[in-house]
Structure 1
Amino acid sequence: MTKLSVNINKIATLRNARGGDVPNVVKVALDCERFGAEGITVHPRPDERHIRKADVYDLKPLLKTEFNIEGYPAPEFIDLVLKVKPHQVTLVPDSPVQLTSNSGWDTKSHYDFLSEVLDEFNNAGIRTSVFVAADSQMIEYAAKAGADRVELYTEPYATTYNVDPDKAVKPFVEAAKVARNLGLGINAGHDLSLANLNFIYKNIPWLEEVSIGHALISDALYMGLEKTIQEYKNCLR
């Protein structure tokens, strides 16, 4: 069964908008676990506009499910991950000023850099994942660089899904087959929602994990967090 990892960045965004500690990031993360999520994802950015470094340290000893930290591997990020030692680190090519992730790595051009970073995390016993487009060459170079998994950047799938689901999912199925043949685990994330999640799962049932934040937290405003998590998990059955 594909695991659901809930990205709680938007909870931190809401907290930071008012100051104080409401909503409490740790409590929401623990509630997500209690309601059935199999993992928690955070993406601490240098400006701490949502998740803060302090949140990462607070979460680590309390989470009972998989902890995934994603971000650009700048020295400060690398240091944080090595100190916290989450179950998984997901490397994304975001610049510090980006609003959100909007592309996968060019793993061929950044091969030397990624190899060095991945070696550091792998040697620390942290599972590694590299954020990539549905492109066989990018997946192949992620494998060569030493990644344990790739996370498929699914915004193009979500954008095309409403027009032509079969066309939307086809390159992702092909990419997932390449990754599987290379011995890589396969995660997916970005713009996945209740509308499109089940279709990609049915076409790539060997997905290890999906990481969902914005859509899930938005749905929770209407349905409540517990029901929303169950609805997302139902899409993965």
Structure 2
Amino acid sequence: MIRLSVNINKIATLRNARGGNTPNVVEAAKRLESFGAQGITVHPRPDERHIRYADVRELSGVVSTEFNIEGNPNQKFIDLVLEVTPAQVTLVPDAEDVLTSNSGWDTIKHKDFLKGVIANFKAHGIRTSIFVDPEVEMIQGAAEVGADRIELYTESYAQGYIEDRVKAIQPYIICAEEAKKLGLGINAGHDLSLDNIEFFAQKIPFADEVSIGHALISEALYEGLEPVVKLYLKKLS
């Protein structure tokens, strides 16, 4: 079964829109785990527009499943990860001014930089994943820099799913098979939803984990957190 990690950034976005501490991200994480989520993901950005660095520190003492911290590895982010020592860190090359992550790493161009960052995290016992586009060369580059896993950026799959899901999934199958051959674990995330997750899981059943935030929290506005988490778990199985 592919594991489900829930990204709770949108919970923090709602909280920050009003101020105060409602909804509470720590309580949300606890409830998501009690509903069956197998991991909690956060993506703190430099401007802390949703998840704050203080949230990450507080969550680190609460999350009982797998804690995954995503972000661009600037020095502030690196220091936070080394302080918290989550189970997994996911390196994402997002610029400070982007609304959401919109591209994967060029693992060839940034080879030396990524090697150093990954070696540092792995020396502290933190599993490292690299966010990549579905391109075989980027998968091969991820293996060369010492990553433990790759996270396939699934926006193009989600966009192409409605028109031609078989065509949309093909690059991901090829890249997942290459990652598996190279001994890399396989994660996936971005725009995965209840509509498209089951087909993805059927075609790449050997993936390790999906990280889902925006869609899951949006769907939960209609159905509730617990039923939606259970629906994802059913589709992933």
After TM superposition, is the score higher than 0.5? Answer: yes
CA distance in 2, matches of 1:204, 1:120: 30
Q: What amino acid does structure 1 have at the position aligned with 2:137?
A: Q
1:61 Cα deviation (Å)? 1.1
Matched, 1:27 2:27: yes
Task: Give unmatched runs, 5+ long, in structure 2.
Answer: none
Equivalent in the alignment of 2:181? 181
SS in 1 for 2:163: coil
Code of the residue aligned with 1:140 in structure 2: it is Q
The CA distance in 2 between the partners of 1:101 and 1:10, in whole Å, is 14
| 1:223-234 alignment, distance < 5 Å | 223-234=223-234
Partner of 1:65: 65
Q: Deviations over 1:161-199 (max 9, x none)?
A: 000010000110000000000000000000000000000
Which amino acid is the alignment partner of residue 85 of structure 1? T
Question: What one-letter code is carried by the residue in structure 2 that aligns with 1:148?
Answer: D
Q: Give 1:83 deviation, angstroms.
A: 0.3
Q: Give the aligned partner of residue 134 of structure 1.
A: 134
- Residue pairs, 1:162-201, within 5 angstroms: 162-201=162-201
2-side partners of 1:118 and 1:202: how far apart? 31
Over residues 142-167 of structure 1, what are the superposed CA-to-partner deviations in whole Å (9 max), with x where a residue is unaligned? 11000000000000000000000100
Please provide the CA RMSD for this pair: 0.4
> Using the alignment, how far apart are the partners of 2:173 and 2:40 within structure 1?
25
Structure 1 CA distance for aligned equivalents of residues 213 and 62 of structure 2: 20
AA of the residue aligned to 1:44? P
Matched with 1:236 is: 236
2:49 corresponding residue in structure 1:
49
Q: Identify unmatched segments of 5+ residues in structure 1.
A: none
Find the counterpart in structure 2 of residue 146 from structure 1.
146
| 1:14 aligned counterpart, secondary structure | helix
Tell me the secondary structure at the aligned position of residue 12 of structure 1. helix
Task: Find the counterpart in structure 2 of residue 40 from structure 1.
Answer: 40
| Corresponding position of 1:100 | 100
Quote the offset at 1:234 in angstroms: 1.0
Distance, in Å, in 1 between the alignment partners of 2:201 and 2:119 is 31
Residue number in structure 1 paired with 2:114:
114
Q: Distance in 1 between matches of 2:137 and 2:31?
A: 39
Amino acid paired to 1:32? L
Shift of 1:97: 1.1
| Regions of 4+ moved over 2 Å | none
Offset at residue 62 of structure 1 (A): 1.0
Amino acid at match of 2:140: E
Deviation at 1:90, TM superposition (A): 0.1
Q: Which amino acid aligns with 1:24?
A: N
Q: Could you tell me how far apart the structure 2 residues matched to 1:214 and 1:104 are?
A: 18
Q: Distance in 1 between matches of 2:54 and 2:77?
A: 13
Q: Under a length normalisation based on structure 1, what TM-score does the superposition of the two structures give? A: 0.99
What SS does the aligned partner of 1:32 have? helix
Equivalent residue, structure 1, for 2:218 = 218
